[in-house]
Amino acid sequence: MARFKSGAKPLAELIEPCIGPAFAAQGFASADILAVWPGIVGARLACACQPVKLEWPRRARRDAEGRPEPGTLVVRVEGAFALDLQHLAPVVIQRVNAHYGWACIGKLLLRQDRLHRPVRRRVALPLDPARRGEVALAVSRIEEDRLRDALDRLGIAVVGESRP
């Protein structure tokens, strides 16, 4: 029996070549900043802001160690949280720089806008048969089929939501 060598690769290795150019166009050296953003700034800040792009200075000057001049991180922030993030900007800059191991960010630029969040569908939990029977009994007197079915679905959703 022939043995096949596993050619499995980590997903990160496959995704980077696909989305790397898009991130490079926004000034990011790698795509990891969005993935690790909650780890860099903390869950509380990550819920209210997202990095958009990294703007590097037009003139490529280097410091004594040969590193480029720090850039400006553009962050999308929800309106109500912008003032808080403005006060926390030095902390965010420090955390990003600590994550990358050098002073790559010198300034934070805030853009007020709604965050782009993926839509999550909730998984319906199994409904207690007794509660299901209550809903069926409540809508059983309705004669029109489509209305009865719609109210049945609504009842199931309401009863399912009200569980502790």
Which helix H or strand E contains 131, and what residues bound it? helix 129-139
What is the distance between the alpha carbons of residues 151 and 117, in angstroms, rounded to a whole number? 31
Residue of higher predicted confidence among 81 and 10: 81
The fraction of the chain above a pLDDT of 90, given in percent, is 29
Task: Measure the CA–CA gap between 52 and 41, rounded to whole angstroms.
Answer: 15
Is residue 110 within 8 Å of residue 82, measured between CB atoms? yes
The reply to whether the predicted model has a pTM over 0.75 is: no
Coil/strand/helix, residue 126 = coil
pLDDT tens-digit map of 51-94: 988 888 877 666 666 677 888 999 999 888 899 999 999 999 99
Q: Tens of pLDDT along 121-150?
A: 666 677 888 888 999 999 999 999 999 999
Q: Which element (helix H / strand E) includes 41?
A: helix 32-41
- Whether 81 and 46 have beta carbons less than 8 Å apart is answered as no
> 18-50 burial, b if ≥16 CB within 10 A, otherwise e?
eeeeebeeebbeebbbeeebeebbeeebbebbb
